[in-house]
Structure 1
């Protein structure tokens, strides 16, 4: 396996990215904190940044990297990098090879379909609980994310959209106040986002899929459980159709 030459900046254009407005814009408008401003620990920041690099293919499937190269790339020490890689390994985004490095896993349709099968039940549970249990402040934040998502859809800004999606997933999981469900589903969302990002450029329904995410965010913000569950099911139905469409006829 060949070592990947890591880019000087991890904001470069990537395979599968749209041709316009892909550089993530600030999500801190409307008085809300951007995802990177949540007071995260170094371990959490390392995980968040590495996950973004993998999901957006800036660390390409099959790439071989090292703790040292990743530390230099994102400016965080090797101990948090090591912890983040352990978590990413559990989520099947990397494979750790002792004394050889770390391999970014390949994108796998079979795994994606299994992920969606599992996500359907967990996402439905989290949607129902989050709609029921979210505080007023959390609903307001969800509404803000929904507006940010809608702007990203209108602009065709897929990288911005993915940032919003990651924050919305975290917000819904927190608002559900069920840490078992939250921990279980967190390992699935990044795998699913990477699969979608890899194939979305050739999927004619990309804008519809993005809009279904907006609808889910709006339903969660509304606090109506039935609407949130229905929106969650509609999104998974669409993602399942999308995933199956990637198989050559």
Structure 2
């Protein structure tokens, strides 16, 4: 598969003194999305150093929104802020990934079940569309399209579940999980299988099947845990 750039088109930099609070908030969200995707898709390599200026130039966004995006990414353990040393893209630690999966399984099962129970009709239609996007990425082998659909799916689950406590916990895990998968999927994971497993969760939520959503999520995480352990053991069969 050919390498593809994942960063969205740069936003035009706005002179910071003229930015309203609303504009800055939108720019912070855009900066976060672009940097998070660059980290997840390994454009910013694990363990590499980066500066605020480099991130500003990469995204075309001013320093204040970049700074706020960095704070958010630091809370999610994707960037490490080192006093007097700058910024470090967090290294990948397989043991930590397995501990994350233990927590993620319980929290994400709750979120998926709540989403299946509480989603609005409009949100259920959105889940249906995402299920189709996952099926499409399974056929096309488009890993970047999958990563973007996965991020949209995760956000929709959090909104539809309407549980701010579970949402807060889950936000700390999404980026790390997707980056680990992206790093290893060509060796240990199967994109078509992963896409179909995501489609099954999205479809169950769309249909309002509470138990079905939980079971589909367990099947998805069983697959993720299997390839994570395969990474530890070096056994990709």
The TM-score bracket by the shorter chain reads 0.7 to 0.9
* 3-state SS of 1:113 partner: helix
More relative contact order, 1 or 2 (CA 8 Å, 6+ apart): 1
Listed one character per residue, the Cα deviations across residues 90-118 of structure 1 (whole Å, up to 9, x for unaligned) are 21111111232210011110111111100
Alignment gaps of 5+ in structure 1: 1-18, 27-38
Write the mapping of 1:133-152 to structure 2, written as runs, cut at 5 A.
Answer: 133-152=118-137
Q: Distance in 1 between matches of 2:71 and 2:38?
A: 16
Are residues 1:219 and 2:210 paired?
Answer: no
Q: Which has the higher helix share?
A: 2
Q: Distance in 2 between matches of 1:20 and 1:214?
A: 24
What does residue 85 of structure 2 align with? 100
Listed one character per residue, the Cα deviations across residues 60-84 of structure 1 (whole Å, up to 9, x for unaligned) are 0111111111011101111111111
Write the mapping of 1:231-246 to structure 2, written as runs, cut at 5 A.
Answer: 231-246=216-231
Contact 1:22 1:157 in 2 (8 A): no
Q: Distance in 1 between matches of 2:66 and 2:108?
A: 29
What does residue 18 of structure 2 align with? none
Contact 1:131 1:223 in 2 (8 A): yes
Q: Distance in 1 between matches of 2:75 and 2:148?
A: 21
Name the TM-score, length of structure 2 as normaliser.
0.87
Q: Distance in 1 between matches of 2:175 and 2:195?
A: 16
> How far is 1:126 from its partner?
0.4
Contact 1:20 1:156 in 2 (8 A): no
Write the mapping of 1:78-89 to structure 2, written as runs, cut at 5 A.
Answer: 78-89=63-74
Alignment gaps of 5+ in structure 2: 9-22
* 3-state SS of 1:116 partner: helix
CA RMSD after TM alignment:
1.9
What does residue 214 of structure 2 align with? 229
User: Which portions of structure 1, spanning 4 or more consecutive aligned residues, are displaced by more than 2 angstroms?
Assistant: 20-24, 204-207
User: How many residue pairs align between the two structures?
Assistant: 219
Return the match for 2:96 from 90, 108, 111. Answer: 111
Are residues 1:63 and 2:48 paired?
Answer: yes
Contact 2:143 2:191 in 1 (8 A): no
> How far is 1:151 from its partner?
0.7
